Structure formats: structure tokens, C-alpha cells
A and B are shown apart, each in its own frame.
Chain A
Amino acid sequence: MTTNRRKFLQGTAALGAASLGGFPHIWSKNGMLARAANGQIKVGVLFSLTGTTAIIEESLNKATIMAIEEINAAGGINGMEIVPVVEDPASDPATFAEKARKLVLSDKCVSVFGSYTSASRKAVLPVFEKQNNLYWYPTLYEGRECSKNVIYTGAVPNQQQDDFVPWLLENFGKRWYLIGSNYIYPKEENNYCKKLLAELGGEVVAEEYVPLGHSEFSSVINKLKAEKPDVIFSTVVGDSVVALHRQYHAAGLDPETMPMASLTTSENEVAAMGGAAAAGHFTSAPYFMVWDSPENQKFVEAYRSRWGGDKVTHFVSEPSYFQIYLFKQAVEKLAASDIDPNTIREAVKGEQFQAPQGLVKVEPENLHTWLRPKIGRCKSDGQFEILKQSADWLEPDPYKAYSNQSCTAEGLKEV
């Protein structure tokens, strides 16, 4: 009883303080917004812990939780504690939307960190736009989205390809075979790839999509043998990546003359296909586990001591980690009474952070992130050898494949 009463009293006191400090807010339309209170900053963590994509999303959840723990252990944000509310959307887009609604409306989180697949992001988007809350999305994705309610910390097509495609053209040749899983992400990546190839004088010998989860690649391999492309540009995802690499290897094809250049093969997939099948193929990403920087060394060590010595970090778990620090820096600039999704969005614009992958920055116009992609060649021990880092910091442009559209702070502009 006493605790209840004490809580009740504290609650009334807080309410009194809030209405004193924030009286005008009640009448402004921001009055309905979720906001931080009682020395606590509530945030949602929305990664699947069960279901088909739990394999990857679990690692994103772990990286997120670890960053929150680190920040809290170091004294929180201006003395306030970050309180994560963890929900399990079970790899199901509808559940994603439902849990997002709960986190925003009933838990009153000021931000939610979540999603791996585009399908789940698309499912929660209306919730965040309607409630004017903020969603932080760590995955590389196909671009072509412009929302003031999402902070995107993964790479978009131009960031993964601008450096990668010319390099491959120069080192391996002009005849490209595009292969992807049959859904939106590979198609958008290939749209951009075809645009680049047209500009740079490359040639697309085939563009092919296999069903999601497809695991029988003997026909594809037969076509590769007949076509003999210089580069196989692969956006096959999930367990199909593993099957494709293993069957390519078993068929005796040679990565020296016909390498696969992938945007989706990370340390995770390599562990499942084995180093022998992965060796010699290329991936472009802003982050690799072997990236040599003091921040990354610290990140990998902390991750392994927190979650187990055999765990790998990869190009989606790293953004899951650093985006919490971007959130921290944004909130740090705000007064304790003024922490809500709107102020956080404004505060995070242009914010920079020395992440494990290097310096990153949130682009004020489209809320995507400036990154420096790297080209890695896989070795037989299952790790990548980094051959090259892009000379420039690459600006995120989610509409680069569509020259008549661009994403601005005011929304999508048709040019």
C-alpha cells in the first residue's frame, strides 16, 4: 500500500511540476506527444526475438541493449536513465505495427529502435507518422523513402554502390550478371546498379530474381557457366545466400575470374556457408568486424564479453549500436523538460559520432546517415580483408536512382 501511495504522491508531484514548467505545452499540439519524465527516458526496442528473422534481429537487440547499458553505466544522459522497453514482434509485420502502437501510445516512449526487414519498417511507418514519434532504423535498405519520423542509420544504394561498382568494373570487367531475391530490396538496388553501369559503360547480361528462401541454384549456376559474366552482382538474401555460395563452390566455379559481389553477405552468412565457399568473393558495406579502429576494438570486445566469445558483429548490428549514441547526443542538448520526439529529431540533425565504422553524421535534409563504405574480400577463415575504403564521406541519397525526385526536410520533392 505504502509504495503505491508513495508512487501516487510522486506522480502527482511530477504532474504538478510538469504543468508548472510546461503549462503552454498543454495547449499546443505537442501536448499529446510522448515525453521523458521523472528522470527517466523511455525508449522502445523492437526487434524480433522469435520467428524467421529472429536469427539476425536478436543480434540487433543485443547491440542496442548493450549501448543503452553502457550509457546508463556512465551516468545516463544528463543524469537521466535510459529505460528500454523491449517488445518481441515475432517477425510478423502486423505484430510490429501493434507493438509499435503500444510502445508509442501506452509506454509513451520518446523514440523506438527497431526493424530489420523493409516489410516491418513499412508496417510501423504509419504509426510513427500519425503519432509524430521517432523510429530509428539500423539496416541497409533500398532507399526511396522519405519520412521525418524515421532516422536511417544504415546505407542506401548509392552509398553501397558508388564506390563498389566502378571498382569492380575496373578490376573484373564489363559483363555483369545481376541476381537477387524476388522482392523490393534487390530490385531497387539493381535499378541503381543498372543506372551506374549505363553511365560507366558496363553491360547487364542478365537480371534474375529467385523466390525468397530459394535454395536450389543449379539452374542459375548452369546459366553462369554458359554466360561467363565478369561479375555476379548478388542481392540474394537470407539462407539463399548460403545455398548460392555453397553450390557455386561445389560446381567448381572460380571467384578469381567470376567473383560474386554482394551487398548482403556479412560475417553472419559467411559463418553459415563456411570459409571455403565464401573465400574470394566481395562485399561492400560501411562496417566489417575486422575494421581497424580503437572504437571498433572496444565495440567488439564489449560485445563478446557481454554476449559470448563466439559472437560476431556485423554491418547491421554496428548501426544498431551507434544509433543509441546519436540518440544520446541529441537528447543531451535538450532541457530535461523538453525531451520529445520533435525536439530529438531537430537535435539529431547534423549530429556526428565517432562510431566503430568511423565518423558518421545525420543528414539534416533526409535524416539518413553519411557513411564511408568499404570493400571487403572474404577470406577462408570467415573474416573479411578490407581492400579499400571510399575516399569520400558519401552523402546518403535515397532517391539517387530517380533523378526527378529528392528527399528534403519538407518531404519528398518532385523536380
Chain B
Amino acid sequence: MELVVSQLLTGLSIASILMLVALGLAVIYGVTGVINLAHGEFVMLGAYCAWFLQTEFGLGLIASLVPIFIVLALFGWIIEALVIRHLYNRPLDTILATWGIGVMAQQAVRLMAGGELRYVEMPAALSSSVNIFGATESAYRLFILGLALSLFALTWYIYRHTAFGLKLRAITQNRDIASSFGINSGRVYRATFAYGAGIAGLAGALVSPLKSVSPEMGTTYVVDAFMVVVLGGTQSLFGTVASSGILGELSGFLAFHSNDTIAKALVLLAIVILIRFRPQGLFAARVRT
């Protein structure tokens, strides 16, 4: 029993980090169709913001979450206005441009903050562990799980129950017709991009106390994020949650019974096989193209 619970919890905590990292990407790709290769760097910038706010202003991680979201959203807003806006419907160019932005962000951080690994403190209140049905789990990991689910709920709410979400869905279904009904699609795109970047920043800040903070950290996250989004179906928010859950539990299970190297390989193999037979991912939203 204890082993089963702790195995489930392990899977869930892997899943929660996957979901945090993938949510921003899913939002951006699902709505605007932009393949944002700089997503990992948004995550990295979030982690560096946490480090900066902590070392310069003594701000704890929880208190910095809101400022980090704002900073990264602003950054996303600017990137959209300067670069992405000009590249809609040119997927190849967006890939190249966002990749370039990622490289620049990495080098800029290296120049300004230095290349060494940085330390972000875990909130003291959450640094203990909690007992659940005999299995112990880190309180901080449970906190991440809770926060990831709330962020998903918030995104879902915006998407389904606000005027902005209605416009968003209209644009996703058919941009031209939505525009002809008076929806300013450019503004909606920009807001979406900013929101996605802000969430990526939060993800970076939240993982920083568990992992290391370095200019290159984004590269692994962008792969994970794409894995989740591709498996879940690119235009389905629910797909993102479900696929991070599946991937988390699966890699947790495989890693427990073999090791992390094999787990990673098998998970990737499974995804390759799956998209061979179901290219739209597990949960495809019905949209007109």
C-alpha cells in the first residue's frame, strides 16, 4: 500500500512539473499556432527572476511569484510585438526566430548573471515532508502540484467563462471570420502570448528550489513541454493535463522498475509510436482549418 501510494505520488509530482512547464506552451501554440522554441528560456528567465528578487531584495519565492508573472508576461508582450507579430502563418520562420530569441536570452543571462549555478531558497514553511497513507512526500512538491492544478483551473476558466476566452475560442476556430465580427485578433494573440510567457516564468520560479538554476536549464524543459503538448493534442487544454499525468506516472513507473535512462527512452518511443497512429494527439479539439 505504502509503495503504491508513494509510487502514485512520485508520478504525480513529475506530472505536476511537466504540466507547469507545458501549460504556457500549450496556450501559446493552441491559440496562435506559434511553435515557441524560446519557451525553455522563458522558464529559465523565470528562475533567474526568482534568484534575482531573492538575492537583491530578499524576497521569498512565494512573494515573488506575482512580480515574476508580470515581468515575464511583459517580456512575452514585447517579444510578440517586436518579432512574433510579423511572422504569423510562417511557421518555419517563427521556429527560427524563437530559437534565436532563446539563444540570445541564454547568452544575455550568462553575460549579466554569470554562468555559475544559482541557488534559490525553498520557502521554509514548505521544506518539511508530509505523510500521506504511510508514504512521505515533500510538502513543496505537493505545493507545486496544487499550484499547477490551480493554474490550469484558472486558464480553463478564462478560456471557457470570460469574454476574452470567447474571443480566443472564436479566433482559434477561424481567425478571419472572428476578425470580420470585430474581434481584434492581434490584441488577443498578444495577450495570449504574454499569458503563456508569464506561466512559463512561474514554472521556472517554482522548479528552481528543486533543481539547479543555470543559463542552459531551459533546453531540457522545452523538450519535455513539447512532449506533453504533442501527446495531449495541440489545441486541447484538457489534453495537456491528461498527457502530463500519463507521462508523469509512466516515467515514474518505468524509472522505478528500471532506471531513468531507460524510462526516458521508452517514454519517447511510446510517444513516437502513438503519434504515428494518432498524429493529432490523444485529445484533439474539433476545429475548422
B259 at the interface (CB under 8 A from A): yes
CB neighbours (8 Å) of B255 from chain A are: 219-220
CB neighbours (8 Å) of A252 from chain B are: 128-129, 136, 138
Main secondary structure of the interface of A (DSSP, over half): helix
Interface residues of A in 206-248 (CB under 8 A from B): 208-211, 213-216, 218-223, 225-226, 239, 242-243, 246-247
Closest to B217 in A: A239
Set B121, B129, B251: member contacting A274, Cβ < 8 A: B121
The size of the chain A interface, using a CB distance under 8 A, is 37
B216 at the interface (CB under 8 A from A): yes
Q: Which of A218, A225, A250, A276 has the most C-beta atoms of chain B within 10 angstroms of its own C-beta? A: A218
Closest to B258 in A: A208
Interface residues of A in 15-36 (CB under 8 A from B): none
Distance in Å: Cβ of A159 to nearest Cβ of chain B:
26
Are B115 and A209 neighbours in the complex by a CB distance under 8 Å? no
CB neighbours (8 Å) of B251 from chain A are: 216, 219
B193 at the interface (CB under 8 A from A): no
Closest to A216 in B: B14
Interface residues of A in 373-405 (CB under 8 A from B): none
* Chain B 4-21: CB-based contact to A (< 8 A → 1; otherwise 0): 001100100110010000
Distance in Å: Cβ of A340 to nearest Cβ of chain B:
36
Are B117 and A55 neighbours in the complex by a CB distance under 8 Å? yes
* Chain A 247-271: CB-based contact to B (< 8 A → 1; otherwise 0): 1011110000000000000001101
Interface residues of B in 249-275 (CB under 8 A from A): 251-252, 255-256, 259-261, 263-264
Interface residues of B in 139-157 (CB under 8 A from A): 139-141
B189 at the interface (CB under 8 A from A): no
Are A272 and B6 neighbours in the complex by a CB distance under 8 Å? no
Are A273 and B119 neighbours in the complex by a CB distance under 8 Å? yes
Are A219 and B129 neighbours in the complex by a CB distance under 8 Å? no
Are B259 and A208 neighbours in the complex by a CB distance under 8 Å? yes
CB neighbours (8 Å) of B213 from chain A are: 272
Closest to B116 in A: A55
A305 at the interface (CB under 8 A from B): no
Distance in Å: Cβ of B39 to nearest Cβ of chain A:
17
- A210 to B220 CA separation, bound complex (whole angstroms): 14
Are B260 and A271 neighbours in the complex by a CB distance under 8 Å? no
Distance in Å: Cβ of A228 to nearest Cβ of chain B:
13
CB neighbours (8 Å) of A223 from chain B are: 256
Interface residues of A in 252-301 (CB under 8 A from B): 252, 268-269, 271-274, 276
- A269 to B117 CA separation, bound complex (whole angstroms): 8
CB neighbours (8 Å) of A182 from chain B are: 261
Are A250 and B122 neighbours in the complex by a CB distance under 8 Å? yes
Set A209, A210, A239: member contacting B212, Cβ < 8 A: A239
Closest to B138 in A: A250
CB neighbours (8 Å) of B128 from chain A are: 252
Are B259 and A210 neighbours in the complex by a CB distance under 8 Å? yes
CB neighbours (8 Å) of A247 from chain B are: 138, 210
- A271 to B118 CA separation, bound complex (whole angstroms): 8
Are B261 and A209 neighbours in the complex by a CB distance under 8 Å? yes
Q: Which of A210, A219, A222 has the most C-beta atoms of chain B within 10 angstroms of its own C-beta? A: A219
B3 at the interface (CB under 8 A from A): yes
B209 at the interface (CB under 8 A from A): yes
CB neighbours (8 Å) of B14 from chain A are: 216, 218-219
A162 at the interface (CB under 8 A from B): no
Are B260 and A211 neighbours in the complex by a CB distance under 8 Å? yes
Closest to A206 in B: B259
- A216 to B21 CA separation, bound complex (whole angstroms): 13
B214 at the interface (CB under 8 A from A): yes
Interface residues of B in 212-238 (CB under 8 A from A): 212-214, 216-217, 220
Are A213 and B220 neighbours in the complex by a CB distance under 8 Å? yes
**List of 8 A-B pairs having minimum Cβ-Cβ separation, nearest first:** A252-B129, A272-B117, A219-B255, A242-B212, A239-B212, A250-B138, A215-B211, A210-B260
Q: Report 9 cross-chain contacts, Cβ distance below 8 Å, ordered by A residue.
A: A52-B216, A213-B220, A219-B14, A222-B256, A246-B210, A249-B127, A251-B136, A272-B213, A274-B119
- What residues of chain A have their CB less than 8 Å away from a CB belonging to chain B? 52, 54-55, 58, 182, 208-211, 213-216, 218-223, 225-226, 239, 242-243, 246-247, 249-252, 268-269, 271-274, 276
